């Protein structure tokens, strides 16, 4: 290859990289993938079938320190970062219909995205609410003798969140999302247990992804989650977990933006019941790999749960 052709090829790579970055920044207006605390992200013992009539009130605070921003099939921008601060209010009601145990729940997340930059380019932060989460769930199979419970959960997220098409970052995403989740809780003896889950999230189109118009679409996101739990006593538990997410490629008018949802995350959790109706929990997590968005170097979630 001649020197001129090598330079031309290098120039084309640089142009493609910056085009990818520009498209990614535009796609960010559809809802930043780094925002944590998705309702479908389970914590240990999430699938425990509680008696009909039980209610839970839960409050969460989720912090994320994000660094490198990578474009799918493109470069990784090292001089990048984002700080996320998210609060979540959640209410859960358990019931029983025709002998099948289940319930309904509602989530509302809000918070801020701060100190954002991609490739050294600083972005204006955002504050507001994410889309509300509406959910129903049922256990088609419960075997108390073998400590086995299988659950099916549905989620719907209408576009109620804070959204500004002229802003580079948003908490809402101006589109409907729906998720189907299947989970398994399996106990082994009095102390050890597993929580396993798979979910698929489907996205409607965003017809206002940025000021110039266009339509943003996104492929289905798939996720698997696993927790290995150890109950030290009736009040204190510890858990180690893993979450793997893939798919979710974004397009604007059919053109790939470089944004997707490919994450491999390790998690650790501890929970303690102060009394039989009040629990506090702490999760720490770290992304082993992230493609198509920010990599979360460190994350922490504090949860308070009240039974009533």
Under 8 Å between Cβ of 139 and 49:
yes
pLDDT computed for residue 5 by the predictor? 53
Token pair for 162: 């804070």
CA nearest neighbour of 94 among 130, 51, 59: 51
Q: Which residues of the chain have pLDDT under 70?
A: 1-38
Could you identify the residue written with the tokens 């479908």?
A: 40
Residue 231 has a pLDDT of 98
Q: Backbone dihedral region of 248: left (phi > 0), alpha (psi from -120 to 50 degrees) or beta? A: left
Q: Cα(271)–Cα(223) distance, rounded to whole angstroms?
A: 24
What's the confidence (pLDDT) of residue 19? 42
- Taking the C-alpha atoms of residue 284 and residue 121, their distance in angstroms, rounded to an integer, is 29
> Per 3-state DSSP, what percentage of the chain is helix, strand, and coil (rounded to 5)?
10, 60, 30
Least Cα distance to 177 among 200, 161, 157, 195 occurs for 157
Q: What's the pLDDT at 2?
A: 57
| Cα end-to-end span (Å), the chain | 73
Dihedral, CA of residue 249, residue 250, residue 254 and residue 257, to nearest 10: -100
Q: How far apart are CA 195 and CA 281, in angstroms?
A: 17
Half-sphere exposure in the Cβ direction for 16 (13 Å, CA): 15
Q: How far apart are CA 200 and CA 222, in angstroms?
A: 5
Residues in Cβ contact with 61 at an 8 Å cutoff, skipping those fewer than 6 apart: 85, 86, 87, 88, 301, 302
Cβ neighbours of 52 (radius 10 Å) = 13
């Amino acid at each position: 290859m001649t020197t001129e052709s090598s330079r031309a090829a290098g120039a084309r790579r640089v142009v493609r990289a910056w085009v990818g970055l520009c498209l990614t920044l535009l796609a960010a207006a559809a809802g930043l993938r780094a925002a944590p605390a998705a309702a479908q992200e389970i914590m240990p013992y999430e699938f425990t079938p509680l008696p009909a009539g039980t209610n839970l009130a839960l409050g969460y605070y989720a912090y994320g320190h994000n660094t490198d921003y990578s474009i799918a099939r493109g470069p990784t921008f090292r001089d990048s970062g984002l700080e996320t601060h998210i609060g979540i209010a959640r209410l859960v009601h358990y019931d029983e219909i025709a002998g099948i145990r289940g319930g309904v729940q509602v989530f509302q997340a809000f918070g801020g995205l701060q100190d954002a930059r991609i490739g050294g380019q600083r972005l204006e932060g955002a504050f507001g609410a994410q889309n509300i989460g509406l959910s129903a769930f049922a256990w088609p199979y419960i075997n108390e003798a073998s400590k086995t419970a299988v659950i099916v959960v549905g989620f719907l997220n209408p576009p109620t969140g804070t959204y500004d098409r002229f802003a580079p970052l948003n908490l809402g995403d101006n589109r409907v999302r729906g998720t189907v989740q299947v989970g398994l809780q399996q106990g082994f003896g009095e102390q050890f247990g597993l929580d396993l889950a798979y979910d698929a999230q489907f996205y409607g189109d965003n017809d206002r992804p940025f000021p110039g118009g266009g339509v943003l679409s996104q492929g289905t996101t798939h996720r698997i989650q696993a927790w290995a739990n150890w109950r030290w006593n009736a009040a204190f538990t510890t858990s180690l977990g893993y979450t793997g997410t893939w798919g979710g490629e974004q397009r604007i008018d059919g053109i790939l933006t470089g944004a997707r949802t490919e994450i491999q995350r390790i998690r650790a959790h501890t929970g303690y019941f102060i009394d039989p109706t009040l629990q506090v929990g702490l999760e720490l997590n770290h992304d082993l790999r992230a493609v198509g968005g920010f990599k979360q170097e460190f994350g922490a979630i504090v949860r308070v749960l009240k039974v009533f």
